[in-house]
Amino acid sequence: MSDDKKQCPECGETFENVFEATDHLLEEDEEFDPALILPNGYRLMIGSLLRCMYRYAHEPEKIEKITQDTYMTLFTAETNADSIVDIIQEAIVRSSMVGIDEELKSILDDGK
């Protein structure tokens, strides 16, 4: 893949971003989501984190929140492993809810 064009060397298809380009190279049932293994054995899914940050690149308030949540999760995993499960679950619920308002608005607008 060329960095400039994000074009597949095999078929010539071009892509908006590197995430689409790498997804194109994977088999249909494959997923690429690299992780960093933390000293206590927890995994930071860095691939998912980068995709999320890219998706909200033009919304600084969301990037700020994602960055702070990630940092606090890393800190808690390192210093207070007993409470990390609760923090991770809360972060997952919050991140799942981030796009729900936009999706609901889109659905309602389409119905008008």
Mean pLDDT of the chain: 81
> Where exactly are the structural domains of the chain?
1-32, 34-110
- When mean pLDDT is compared over 54-63, 71-80, 96-105, the highest value belongs to 54-63
Whole-model pTM: value is 0.67
pLDDT score of 6: 81
CA atoms within 13 A on the CB side of 61: 1
For the beta carbon of residue 21, count every other beta carbon within 10 angstroms: 19
pLDDT tens-digit profile of 74-85?
888 888 767 666
Query: What is the average pLDDT across 20-47?
Result: 87
Task: Label residue 34 by pLDDT band (50, 70, 90).
Answer: very high
Higher pLDDT pick, 94 / 14 = 14
Distances (CA, A) of 21 to 17, 26, 48, 64, 89: 6, 9, 15, 26, 30
